[in-house]
Amino acid sequence: MTFTITTPLYYVNDKPHLGSVYTTIICDSIARYKRLLGEKVIFITGVDEHGLKIQRTASEKKISPQSHCDEVSYSFIENWKKWEISFDKFIRTSSKHHSKIVNEFYQKVIKSDDIYMGIQKGWYCVGCEEFKDNPDNSPLAQCPIHKKNLEWRDEENLFFRLSKYQKQIEEIINKEDFIEPKERKNEIINFVSKGLKDFSISRTNLDWGIKVPDHNSHTFYVWFDALLGYISAISMEESKNTLEDSIVMGWPVNIHIIGKDILRFHAIYWPAMLLSAGISPPKKVFGHGFLTREGQKMGKSLGNILDPDILLTKYGSEAVRWYLLKDIALGNDGDFQNKRFVDIINNDLANTIGNLLNRSSSMSRKWFNNKTPNQEDKNNSKIKDYANKTIDKYLAFFEKYKIDLASNEILKFAIFVNLYLNDNQPWTLIKDDKNIQDVKFIIYNVLESCRIIGLLLQPILPNLSCNILIQLGQFNNDNKSWKEKLNWGLLPLNYELPEPKPIISKLDYD
Ligand code: MSP
């Protein structure tokens, strides 16, 4: 079974900002988690390159849209590498392959008699690339997200018969697991209950897009085009690369992770388009919250973005990943605050987890000839039980995409083990030879806990977890599956420990 997961395809009006990094990190950690479980994963990301917004950005820069897209798309790929995003497919909607799939798909929708010519009138937000529902009638109607004036449109467009799918869409969105989180589901159900209206899928007076066959002056509406990127991504660079091949290789998507701003497109328009083409809808659409700064959505148009490059250089990707994944419940908004960020990284990663590992491996090296203790009795039942409960809860949370709660389980376990170490004070016990067995027992249990912590951190903090396991001599050292490695007691006895190095440096306040 393949597990297919997608980020949205990001507009290339600028290089990635922290909001796009956020969505991509979430998907990355889910993709890594599924791979650790042994599933075959297709992790799709990419860029949405067409439409008026991009055409205008290129024209402001006085370069062709294609050169602009080449430049920004390259910066997305480079950025995702820097953030160690483990994507399998990166789709560009200006690629020939994508355009071919859009055409194939369009023919299917025509066959279903779902396309007709009509007149589109209404207020348009170029930032959202979307007609807005009911702005007041003043010429200064503004987009609530972008705070920019809407533009009036009155033009001949091709329409998609969304209204025909009212019943089927109602069934889909009412399914138990289709839309998450639950609060967002109600918004969509409300919207659909007012009656679905057909929507236009082509634009005139816009060159930067895929030409609609038999309608020379029309290009496909950027959303109709971009959503199909999720399908074209699957067969890109494959020898078999038709629409059908994509479907066979990895459709339906298991989960689209997107921001709450684009839930309607994914939960309503997209499933209806797929139904029209006889293709299964995605299994789940998860609309996460916004990263805010002082309560405002972070975005280029609002000029309040935090530059991810600066965060990356200053703090490294693992610190940012931990903050975003552990501190924000997937679905809720999260405010980025510098002080809180520094506190969390120092407390959780440097002190609670990092010091635990360094202290215990230093003690073990010092007292046991640079090795793990040689100690037959490996089981402190309290710690072992806590570890097993942690693992069970962690797995259950991850299955539900509650990465924050899964991360907190790891942290709680690390706190518990720190307490155990402090309560038992092996540094005092070691002063008397008769306590040597007890000391061995304590150190073994703490080191073994660190191994479990390292394993559990793997999908969340790929580098830091690897450093933890390297320090225990336990990185990729056998062929056991990840789940098998989570069994208690696998840290070998009397085993050489490398010299400890801090796994993360403490951060300073600005
Ligand atoms: N191109 C469309 C998506 C097409 S998908 C077929 C688009 N692109 S976007 O670049 O404007 O935004 C995409 C996504 O970026 C949002 O849905 C969200 O996932 C992420 N974010 C953008 N700003 C964000 C925040 N401030 N906070 C969190 N995520 C945000 O819409």
SS3 of 74-132: the string is HHHHHHHHHCCCCCCEEEECCCHHHHHHHHHHHHHHHHCCCEEEEEEEEEEECCCCEEC
Statement: residue 92 has pLDDT above 80: yes
Among 52, 94, 201, 258, which is best to mutate for testing ligand 1, by the most ligand atoms less than 8 A from CB?
A: 258
Among 20, 27, 85, 102, which is best to mutate for testing ligand 1, by the most ligand atoms less than 8 A from CB?
A: 20
Are 204 and 189 contacting, i.e. CB atoms less than 8 angstroms apart? no
Residue-wise pLDDT tens digits, 31-70 = 999 999 999 999 999 999 999 999 999 999 999 999 999 9
pTM beyond 0.85: yes
CB-CB neighbours of 343 under 10 Å: 14
Give the confidence band of 504 by pLDDT, cuts at 50, 70, 90: very high
Statement: residue 132 has pLDDT above 90: no
Select the more confidently predicted residue: 123 or 400.
Answer: 400
Say what the pLDDT of residue 377 is.
Answer: 75
CA-CA distance, 114 to 293, in Å (whole number)?
A: 43
- The type of residue at 191 is F
Distance 16 CA to ligand 1 centre (A): 10
Distance 11 CA to ligand 1 centre (A): 8
Locate the ligand 1 atom nearest the alpha carbon of residue 7 and give its number: 19
130-139, 225-234, 496-505: range with highest mean pLDDT? 225-234
Statement: residue 403 has pLDDT above 80: yes
Give the confidence band of 305 by pLDDT, cuts at 50, 70, 90: confident
User: With the C-alpha atoms ordered 290, 291, 297, 300, is the resulting torsion angle positive or negative?
Assistant: negative
Statement: residue 380 has pLDDT above 80: no
Q: Is 16 exposed, middle or buried (0-12, 13-18, 19+ CB in 10 A)?
A: buried
Statement: residue 138 has pLDDT above 60: no
Q: Whose CA is nearest to atom 8 of ligand 1?
A: 10
Statement: residue 133 has pLDDT above 80: no
Looking up tokens 């155990």 gives 420
Cis peptide before 252 (omega within 30 of 0): yes
Size of the chain, expressed as the number of residues it contains: 510
Q: Give the residues surrounding ligand 1 with Cβ less than 6 Å away.
A: 8-11, 19-20, 22-23, 48, 226-227, 229, 258-259, 261-262, 290-291, 297-299
- In the chain, DSSP finds a helix count (H) and a strand count (E) of 21, 16
The predicted model gives 281-297 an average pLDDT of 89
Give the confidence band of 401 by pLDDT, cuts at 50, 70, 90: very high
- The type of residue at 400 is K
Distance 259 CA to ligand 1 centre (A): 6
Give the confidence band of 206 by pLDDT, cuts at 50, 70, 90: very high
Say what the pLDDT of residue 300 is.
Answer: 67
Say what the pLDDT of residue 180 is.
Answer: 96
For residue 345, the SS3 value is helix
The share of the chain scoring above pLDDT 90, in percent, equals 84
Give the confidence band of 139 by pLDDT, cuts at 50, 70, 90: low
Say what the pLDDT of residue 273 is.
Answer: 98
The predicted model gives 302-321 an average pLDDT of 89
Locate the ligand 1 atom nearest the alpha carbon of residue 226 and give its number: 6
For residue 508, give the DSSP letter.
P
CB-CB neighbours of 381 under 10 Å: 8
Find the DSSP H helices in 158-204.
Answer: 166-174, 182-193
Say what the pLDDT of residue 375 is.
Answer: 78
Statement: residue 421 has pLDDT above 80: yes
Q: Whose CA is nearest to atom 19 of ligand 1?
A: 259
Select the more confidently predicted residue: 282 or 375.
Answer: 282
The predicted model gives 365-371 an average pLDDT of 97
Say what the pLDDT of residue 478 is.
Answer: 82
Statement: residue 477 has pLDDT above 90: no
Statement: residue 125 has pLDDT above 60: yes
Q: For 206, what's the count of Cα atoms within 13 Å in the CB-facing half-sphere?
A: 26
Give the confidence band of 135 by pLDDT, cuts at 50, 70, 90: low
Statement: residue 1 has pLDDT above 90: no
Torsion of CA 505, 404, 31, 2, to 10 degrees: 160
Are 173 and 164 contacting, i.e. CB atoms less than 8 angstroms apart? no
Say what the pLDDT of residue 136 is.
Answer: 59
The predicted model gives 177-206 an average pLDDT of 95
Beginning with the edge strand found earlier in the chain, give each strand of the sheet holding 255-259 in spatial order.
89-92, 40-48, 2-11, 255-259, 285-288, 179-180
Residue-wise pLDDT tens digits, 150-173 = 888 888 999 999 999 999 999 999
Average pLDDT, the chain: 94
Give the confidence band of 330 by pLDDT, cuts at 50, 70, 90: very high
CA-CA distance, 316 to 327, in Å (whole number)?
A: 17
Say what the pLDDT of residue 318 is.
Answer: 96
- Our measurement of the distance from residue 98's CA atom to the centroid of its chain's CA atoms, rounded to an integer in Å, reads 23
Cis peptide before 181 (omega within 30 of 0): yes
